[in-house]
Amino acid sequence: MDEGTVARWLVDDLAAVEVGQVLYLLETDKVEMEIESPAAGTISILVPEGTTLTVGAEVARIEG
């Protein structure tokens, strides 16, 4: 897998999130995956739904 598309955000920008909470759905050419939060805090979403990114690209920041 070289790239994926942010299919849908499941949290709002600036929402409080917990470790393990599903943040968004990532769609590839073969599957759709739930991406979980690696940390607790306040999320700042950096890319809108429908954005296609390469592996490792930053989609959001969590401060907390």
For CA atoms 39, 44, 47, 48, the dihedral sign is positive
Domains and CATH numbers, the chain: 3-63 (2.40.50.100)
For CA atoms 8, 44, 52, 22, the dihedral sign is negative
Per-residue pLDDT of the chain in tens (64 residues, 90 and over written 9)? 789 999 999 999 999 999 999 999 999 999 999 999 999 999 999 999 999 999 899 999 999 9
Cβ contact 21:36 at 8 Å: yes
> What is the residue whose two structure tokens read 């950096």?
46
